[in-house]
Amino acid sequence: MTNSNHNHVMIKSSVLLLLLSFLVAAASSGNFNQDFQITWGDGRATVLDGGRLLTLSLDKSSGSGFRSVNQYLFAKIDMQLKLVPGNSAGTVTTYYLSSEGPTHDEIDFEFLGNLSGDPYILHTNIYAQGKGNREQQFYLWFDPTKDFHTYSILWNPQTIIFSVDGTPIREFKNMESRGIPFPKSQAMRLYGSLWDAEDWATRGGLVKTDWTKAPFTASFRNFNAQACVSSASSSSSSCNSGGSSDQSWLKQSLDSTGQARIKWVQKNYMIYNYCTDTKRFPQGLPPECSL
């Protein structure tokens, strides 16, 4: 091999290695010690059971939170949560993907606390390029404080699907061809938190947090990610590098059974849909609502 050819191959190899270092497809079954950083709470977040369980607590002084070490550019993520039991009014437990900056993207699960005996409200939202206002809210068909349940986010170039115990509850399709922004170019970290939002969380802020019930505790376990892991913010919208054996999630969408399940959930358990809130959007509903 001539020197020039050898140099050319070396340069190509270096470029390839550099690209792979930025975007590596990976499937990881989580360990909270390795995969997450506790970011706030001054000791109120605790990793237990050899990294398999993470608990967050909230008292009058502070809540607590964590974030993933990795950033993801498209992912299928599962997490099991057990929410604050009893009178959890005013508290919010969150589990969401978010990028940083004023034009950030975000995919939200938020669980709004309640008075004992009332159902939790599952609040979902999607931000694209810094703009949200896409809330849908649901009651759950079980008590989310009695045991762990699986909450999943599928985010690929075609769609975002929220699921609960494998049942899809919401889909937001990529409608960029119609001029509607879709999160696809900003890498996002996974976050979790437990905090006090008594000014709005329970009945619009009418029911305040009862601090005699503190500390409040929520638990997270069985994190699992099939994802394209970005080691630096990447502008690439392609997620096919890295050679993970199963990347079917990257092209996954709802089949007819999934569509039927979403209709069942939305008919029986949806309590708020921004796409029907004409008072909030007097100039007309957001364009995706008509699609």
Instruction: Tell me the catalytic residues.
Output: 106, 110
Question: For the chain, first and last CA: distance in Å?
Answer: 58
Nearest to 97 by CA among 123, 79, 72: 72
Give 31's contacts (C-beta < 8 A, 6+ positions apart). Answer: 50, 51, 52
Radius of gyration over every alpha carbon of the chain, rounded to an integer in angstroms? 21
Nearest to 54 by CA among 216, 229, 227, 223: 223
Give 282's contacts (C-beta < 8 A, 6+ positions apart). Answer: none
CB 186 within 8 A of CB 82: no
Tokens of 17: 């290695």
Containing H/E element for 221?
Answer: strand 216-230
Displacement of CA 45 from its chain's centroid (Å): 19
Q: What sign does the CA torsion over 229, 231, 232, 236 have?
A: negative
Backbone angles phi, psi at 144, to 5 degrees: -80, 0
Quick check: helix, strand or coil at residue 49?
helix
Query: How many alpha carbons lie under 13 Å from residue 1 in its C-beta half-sphere?
Result: 8
Displacement of CA 2 from its chain's centroid (Å): 51
Displacement of CA 184 from its chain's centroid (Å): 14
